[in-house]
A and B are shown apart, each in its own frame.
Chain A
Amino acid sequence: MSRIGSYFLFLGTLFRNREKLSVYLGLIINECTSIGVGSIFIVALVNIFIGAVTCVQTAYNLTNPFVPKYIIALIVRDSSILELAPTLSCIVLAGKVGSNIASELGTMRITEQVDALEVMGINSSSYLILPKVIASVLMFPLLVIMAAFLAILGGYIAGTLAGVISAEEYVTGLRFDYKPFGIAFALIKTVVFAFLISTISAFQGYNVSGGALEVGAASTSAVTNSCIAIVAADFVLTQLLLT
Chain B
Amino acid sequence: MSMHEITLIVNGKPQKLTVKSNELLLNVLRDKLFLTGAKYGCGIAECSACTVLKGDRSIMSCLVPAVAADGWEITTPEGLVVDGELNAVQEELVNKGAIQCGFCTPGMAMTGTACVRENPDADEAFVRDYMRGNYCRCTGYQAIVEAILAACEDAKNGKRV
Does B associate with A? no
Measuring CB to CB, which residues of chain A are less than 8 angstroms from any residue of chain B?
none
